[in-house]
Amino acid sequence: MTSQSADSLRSRYVAQAASDLEENRRRQQELTERISVLKQEEALLSDILNLAERYESSADASRLPEESQDEPVGAKAKRAPAAPAGTTTRRSASAKAAPATKAAKAAKAATESTKGKPQQPLLGDLLAELLGEHEEPRPAKELRDELLAKHPDRNPTPQVVRNTLESLVAKGRIRRHKQQRSVMYALVERGEAQTD
């Protein structure tokens, strides 16, 4: 092998290694961003679970006396069938309590993590409010930029903003407009929501 071909081969190996290193760094950056998005989504889901647990516990506690008074006797019997004679319900009660205990622990942890924090408006409400300020549809990027300018304490990733906008579309609060390859969002007017 000549020195020229060895140099050529070495330069190809160096170029390939540099290219592989750059690709590795790019993928690490993507994964770091993805982890950040997943952490924000986890926090959002934790907050949702916390709210659902609080609502469920307050709603159940306030409804139980009403249900027992207003519900016909036949409906109560259907709802809670009697156990056959000679059987115990201890095992089924403990089996039902185990998942409830896990959910209660998760709700308690979520409550402790949010204690002391002022209650912030939901991201969906803020985005809908921003859309209401404009007559024309807006892209998610511009909405996120406006949100960061008006609410510097909030810093959702672009993916979280898009996911929130899509959930508002699913709920019928906003509409999605596609123009070529871009997606724009507009607030649904009250009259439109009732006629659709």
pLDDT tens digits, 23-57: 999 999 999 999 999 999 999 998 898 888 888 77
Q: How many structural domains is the chain composed of?
A: 2
The CA–CA distances, whole Å, from 173 to 8, 51, 178 equal 62, 21, 17
The CA–CA distances, whole Å, from 139 to 12, 124, 134, 167, 172 equal 44, 15, 12, 15, 17
Could you tell me the end-to-end alpha-carbon distance of the chain, in angstroms, rounded to an integer?
Answer: 77
Say if residue 70 is in the same domain as residue 130.
Answer: no
Report residue 173: phi and psi, to 5°: -85, -30
CA distance 129 to 150: 11
Residue 155 belongs to domain with CATH number: 1.10.10.10
Is position 153 within any domain? yes
pTM score, whole prediction? 0.41
Is position 89 within any domain? no
Is position 102 within any domain? no
Is position 92 within any domain? no
Is position 99 within any domain? no
- Alpha helices for 151-182 (secondary structure H): 158-171
Grouped pLDDT means (10 residues each) for the chain, 196 residues: 83 92 94 93 90 76 49 48 48 47 59 63 90 90 92 90 92 89 87 50
Question: Residue 123 belongs to what H/E stretch?
Answer: helix 123-132
pLDDT in tens, 134-148: 888 999 999 999 999
- Whole domain around residue 44: which residue ranges? 1-78
